[in-house]
Amino acid sequence: MSSPLPIGLLTVDSTTPAVLVLPGLVTRDEVPRLCDDLLARLTAAGGGVVVCDVAGIGPPGLAVVDALARLELTARRAGGRIRLRDPDPALRGLLALVGLRFETEGEPEEREPAGGVQEAVETGDAPL
């Protein structure tokens, strides 16, 4: 039994990013495979954002930091970026310690304010 083909254009939800689930134990040997998986998801989605689900990784260490940095570099070179899902507070602290900043799912994006916008007026400033 087959179903009839839908009439009209197919609806694609472009707001749902692709998801890459990192394994429980991330080693240096797995990084090339993870980067290949990331590229495949970016290519299939036509660029944009790939969500890296890091909820299941073991205790964070430098191997995880290295893997995330390489994934971000791979995504940037392909015209995309990664966003972390459910990072452990210890992982966040380790990333901050080494100076890496990643966008996290559920948090607003941090961007520079628009040019010419004054954030606060101090007393004694001349009006514009």
Looking at the structure of the chain, the number of domains it has is 1
For residue 16, give the nearest of 46, 37, 36 by alpha carbon. Answer: 46
Positive or negative CA dihedral for 36, 37, 43, 47? negative
Residue 119 is classified by DSSP as: S
The Cα angle at residue 100 between residues 94 and 102, in degrees rounded to 5: 100
pLDDT of residue 113: 54
Q: Quick check: is 118 in a domain?
A: no
Q: Quick check: is 108 in a domain?
A: no
Residue found by looking up tokens 């996290």 in the block: 104
Enclosing H/E stretch for 82: strand 80-85
Count the Cβ atoms, other than its own, within 10 Å of residue 36.
Answer: 11
pTM: 0.70
**CATH code where residue 93 lies:** 3.30.750.24
Cα–Cα distance between 87 and 32 in angstroms, integer? 21
Q: Quick check: is 61 in a domain?
A: yes
pLDDT of residue 3: 52
- 46 lies in which domain range? 18-102
| Ordered per-residue pLDDT tens for the chain, 128 residues | 555 555 654 444 456 778 999 888 888 899 999 999 999 999 888 778 999 999 988 888 899 999 999 999 999 999 999 999 999 999 999 999 999 999 998 765 555 555 555 556 567 766 66
